[in-house]
Amino acid sequence: MDDRLRRSMPLFSMGIVQNLTGLTARQIRYYEENALIEPERTEGNRRVFSFNDVEKLLDIKSLLDEGVNLAGIKHVLSSKPVESNQPLNAVKQKKSDLSDADLMKYLKRELINAGKFGDQARIQGEFSRFFNQK
């Protein structure tokens, strides 16, 4: 069996994923609502997670621990190759490969979205990590 197929097979229930990741069911559902993960569903509409889903949840938890907000997590995860087994640290290094124009578009979108949801104070210090410290 192909490793990519094996890693995408839905095998784990919510309880097992909670034990593996240390996240609560509420957190996992929240990440699903925000399209960060897409677990399979059984006929009874229960979530069933794959190795890839668990890995993505661990990446999300790691990014949250570093202080990255939800929009930043979406951006980092969208730049991570789906079929890749490379660790998140390798993906973080690619972030510096963004062109200045792409970076400015991203920052502008973040500022506009922050104004809509009233969490400017939460992200004020977040943008400093995008600029080179010389």
pTM of the model: 0.59
What is the pLDDT at residue 9? 87
The CATH number given to 3-97 is 1.10.1660.10
**Taking the domains of the chain in order of start, what are their residue ranges?**
3-97
| SS3 readout for the chain | CCHHHHHHCCCECHHHHHHHHCCCHHHHHHHHHCCCCCCEECCCCCEEECHHHHHHHHHHHHHHHCCCCHHHHHHHHHHCCCCCCCCHHHHHHHHHHCCHHHHHHHHHHHHHHHHHHCCHHHHHHHHHHHCCCC
What is the pLDDT at residue 29? 95
82-123 tens-digit pLDDT: 554 444 544 444 445 666 677 666 666 666 665 555 444 444
Residue 81 has pLDDT above 80, yes or no: no
High-pLDDT (> 70) share of the chain, %: 58
